[in-house]
Amino acid sequence: MLSLFKKEKEETNFNPLISELESTKNDLCAAYSNFENAIDPDLVDSCIYELQAIQLRYKFLLTKIREMDSTN
C-alpha cells in the first residue's frame, strides 16, 4: 500500500515537468518555423536568440526529469 502511494506521489511530481516539456517542445517547433520564415536580419537574430533560450529551457527540464527518475 505504501509503495502504491509513493508511486502515485512520484507520478504527480513528474506530471508538471512533463507537461512543461511538451509545451516547450511546441514552442521550439514554432520558433524553428519563425526562424525559417524570417527575412530581415534583425528578425533572424531575434529568432536565433529565441531558439537558444527555448533549447536551454528544454535541456533544463529534461535534466530535471532525468534527475527525478534516477533518484526514484
pLDDT digits (tens, 9 = 90+) for 15-57: 899 999 999 999 999 999 999 999 999 999 999 999 999 999 9
Count of domains forming the chain: 1
In a domain, 4, yes or no: no
Q: What value does the mean pLDDT take over residues 55-62?
A: 96
In a domain, 7, yes or no: no
In a domain, 46, yes or no: yes
Q: What value does the mean pLDDT take over residues 57-68?
A: 93
In a domain, 58, yes or no: yes
In a domain, 52, yes or no: yes
Split at pLDDT 50, 70, 90, the class of 14 is confident
Q: Which of 70, 69, 64 is nearest to 21 (CA)?
A: 64
Residue 3 has pLDDT above 60, yes or no: no
Q: Which residue has the higher pLDDT, 8 or 37?
A: 37
In a domain, 72, yes or no: yes
What distances in angstroms separate CA 43 from CA 14, 22, 36, 37, 52, one per listed residue? 36, 26, 11, 10, 14
C-alpha–C-alpha distance, residues 12 and 18, integer Å = 10
Buried b (16+ CB within 10 A) or exposed e, 41-54: eeeeeebeebbeeb
In a domain, 23, yes or no: no
